Amino acid sequence: MRGVVKVGLAGALLFAIGSVSASAQDYPTKPVKLLVAFAPGGPADSIARLIGQKLNERWNQSVIVENRGGAGGNIAAMQAAKADADGYTVLVTTSAFAVNQTLTKNPGYTPDDFRAAAIVATTPNLIIGAPNLKANNLKEAIELARTEKMTYGTAGAGTTPHLSAERLFKLEGKVDIPHAPFTGAGPATQAVLGSHIPLASVALSAAVQNVQSGQVKGLAVTSKERVKALPNVPTARELGLGDADDTTWVVFFVPAKTPDPVIQKINADVNAILKDSDTEAKLEAIGFMPVGGSANDAEAYVKSETARWGEIIRRVGLEPK
């Protein structure tokens, strides 16, 4: 009788494993939600919509983009951490995910709640100025801030554009410009466009078209070299403001217990999309560089970025909130 029980248990276990493998192999069999951690118009949103459309075509399933901005990306991350670990809720967020581990006392989740499925793309950070700003580059803007009251906007506290600005203003420029956090790079850019605030630090992709059209001023990029999309915008290095190479990255995360085959499926299909010439052209047009790589590469990259931005936070002197 005991032997029958053992065989029965073993059979049930094998059946359960087989069911998980089968469901993972068939993934996706229903709509997939891309939960974007910031408002429309920012880097995470732009990537989610571009890659989501391509995934829709490959999977023949609806890929729904849902924006849940706020708290520097933490609100969406908390929601995604509680989602079913089946691959049907994918968190699309930025390097704010790495920053928040140091800058936020209790973000409502831990890195162990997630696994990185794919590094999608990176983009430099960009400092922009209002049309009526009496400065044409970042060095001039910093000098202006010594005599005039100024504030700068970002997609939220804890985003890498926020930290880039703090480093450039406080450590390199020796000036303290108050920070005005928004729910996303889109709203921050619109505030500068309307001259409601004089400056903003955003991912390049969020404001590249506004700079190209002359709606806002491009004051500096945080990359090592000038970017093709904005050849007339100097690097912070050129202006004598340090030598850092700061980027905003976009990564797809899933809940930690998501089956490996599902993660590999997401990773493989995102990588295939990134190698497509049409995707590359569309990414370059908005200031992104495709990255790709394995899910293990993504995990290692996020860990290294968490350590790097943690050190920058300490140097700038920001206190966890």
Residue extents of the structural domains in the chain:
30-122+248-316, 124-221
Check pLDDT > 50 for residue 16: no
> For residue 10, with 0-12 CB atoms within 10 Å meaning exposed, 13-18 middle and 19 or more buried, which class applies?
exposed
Looking at 1.10.3720.10, 2.70.70.10, 3.40.50.720, 3.40.190.150, the CATH number of the domain 30-122+248-316 comes to 3.40.190.150
pLDDT of residue 130: 98
Give the pLDDT score at 24: 67
Closest CA to 249 of 190, 192, 293, 191: 293
**41 has a pLDDT exceeding 80:** yes
Fold identical between 30-122+248-316 and 124-221?
yes
pLDDT band at 73 (very low <50, low <70, confident <90, very high): very high
Map tokens 């908005």 to a residue. 286
Q: What are the start-end ranges of the H helices in the chain?
A: 2-26, 43-59, 74-81, 96-103, 138-145, 160-166, 185-193, 204-212, 260-274, 277-285, 295-316
pLDDT for residue 320: 87
- Cα atoms found within 13 Å of the Cα of residue 235, Cβ hemisphere only: 16
Any idea what the Cα angle at residue 51 is, between residues 98 and 260, rounded to 5°?
65
Q: Which two tokens stand for residue 28?
A: 């996706």
Cα–Cα distance for residue pair 249/178, rounded to 1 Å: 25
Q: What does the DSSP 8-state code read for residue 52?
A: H
Q: What percent of the chain has pLDDT over 90?
A: 78
What per-residue confidence (pLDDT) applies to 19?
47
Largest pairwise CA distance in the chain: 88
pLDDT at 22 over 50: no
- Does residue 300 register a pLDDT over 80? yes
pLDDT band at 174 (very low <50, low <70, confident <90, very high): very high
Confidence of residue 8 (pLDDT cuts 50, 70, 90): low
CA contacts within 13 A on the Cβ side of 84: 6
Q: Is the CA virtual torsion 85, 86, 88, 93 positive or negative?
A: positive
- Look at residue 127 and give its three-state secondary structure: strand
104 vs 128 pLDDT, higher one: 128
Average pLDDT, the chain: 91
The pTM score is 0.83
Alpha-carbon torsion angle 84, 50, 61, 87, nearest 10: -20
The CATH H-level superfamily of 124-221 is Periplasmic binding protein-like II (3.40.190.10)
Nearest Cα neighbor of 287 from 252, 250, 251 is: 250
Q: Which pLDDT does position 11 carry in this prediction?
A: 52
The whole-angstrom separation of Cα 93 and Cα 287 is 17
